[in-house]
Structure 1
């Protein structure tokens, strides 16, 4: 049912942006950005539920907490970078949006280094000497 509300908000905001854009493009951009933030906040509860379930599964599987937190941070970086790039692209700044995406990818790579290191060390231990 929430998807109907999200789509409804999105369609209404899109219509308003198209109407306002002719007269006040800055207000149209602000409305589009505000709508994105409202949708994100509306879904924050669902995100929290997903994180709780994943934490429970990680605990049951005895996954190292450091790895679990790192993976959650990586997912967070990806979503935030995507959102920022979309807002920037909506403002007509495609080159800045590309830089935001690049920064997100680089930060994800930096965050993944400890996990990649453990995987490589594990593979080396498994391989015969």
Structure 2
């Protein structure tokens, strides 16, 4: 058993990965042979990831607020606390907060010596982001 006390600082999400104000707290990063990592990600209203993909997929579990997500070519979807989103391996997508609401989620990723955890792509444009459903 290993207990990691709350000693790791919250980090600001870098601007080459995110648009807007995003903060990240690590949750899980066990040493090999484990391949799973998890982070608690706080998106302030309007903040979002850039387009990206995960070679081994990603699961997002919403814990607070109202968020948005989209896979490339699909509609923008509203996500709320308790919703779990599975992005398939190599599926280009983005996720973040609704324009007027914060959103917090746990991001669960997998990687190994043959696969990076994530490949960051271009920013989500304001036009893409504004395609928000009226229910957001």
Short-chain TM bin: under 0.3
The structure richer in strand per residue is: 2
* Max Rg structure: 1
Q: What's the TM-score, normalizing by structure 1?
A: 0.23
The structure richer in helix per residue is: 1
Higher relative contact order (CA 8 A, sep 6+): 2
